[in-house]
């Protein structure tokens, strides 16, 4: 089975500082035909449903602040929050959607304020 491994499991960052979350896939999610990485990032705030942040590894979803950015290709990806705000406290998940099931999620990374 394809596995997405997120690191760290949790991190505490000071307000205004950078937060970096990693996601490693056991198989590449890069499709050579269109050069697209089939990876998304979601944010789930306490008590809420998940919300799409990033898709195609680096495309921000509508309405997502530009302090959120996604990068990486193939098997290694990063979600960066450039300047952490109080409203960014949440669990963040990566997800692969590469052609065939399952549509696997990573285990999640909890972001807190230091």
Partner 1 sequence: QVQLVESGGGVVQPGRSLRLSCAASGFTFSDYPMNWVRQAPGKGLEWVAVISFDGNNDYYADSVKGRFIISRDNSKNALYLQMNSLGADDTAVYYCARGGLMATIMIHFDYWGQGTLVTVSS
Q: Which residues bind partner 1 (CB under 8 A)?
A: 1, 38, 40, 42, 44, 49-52, 55, 61, 91, 93, 95, 97-108
- SS3 call for 61: coil
Closer residue to partner 1 (CB): 16 or 99: 99
Instruction: Name the minimum Å distance from CB 39 to partner 1.
Output: 8
Does residue 34 come out as left (phi exceeding 0), alpha (psi in the -120 to 50 range) or beta? alpha
Instruction: Name the minimum Å distance from CB 50 to partner 1.
Output: 6
Sign of CA dihedral 51, 104, 12, 49: positive
Please state, in angstroms and rounded to a whole number, the distance separating the CA atoms of residues 81 and 83: 6
Closer residue to partner 1 (CB): 16 or 46: 46
Instruction: Name the minimum Å distance from CB 83 to partner 1.
Output: 25
């Amino acid at each position: 089975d394809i596995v997405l491994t997120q690191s760290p499991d949790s991190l505490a960052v000071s307000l205004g500082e950078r937060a970096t979350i990693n996601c490693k896939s056991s198989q590449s999610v890069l499709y050579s035909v269109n050069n697209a990485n089939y990876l998304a990032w979601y944010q789930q705030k306490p008590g809420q449903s998940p919300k799409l942040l990033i898709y195609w590894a680096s495309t921000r979803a509508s309405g997502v602040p530009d302090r959120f950015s996604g990068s990486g290709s193939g098997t290694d990806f990063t979600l960066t929050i450039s300047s952490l705000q109080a409203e960014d406290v949440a669990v963040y998940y990566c997800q692969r959607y590469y052609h065939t099931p399952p549509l696997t999620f990573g285990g999640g990374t909890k972001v807190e304020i230091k």
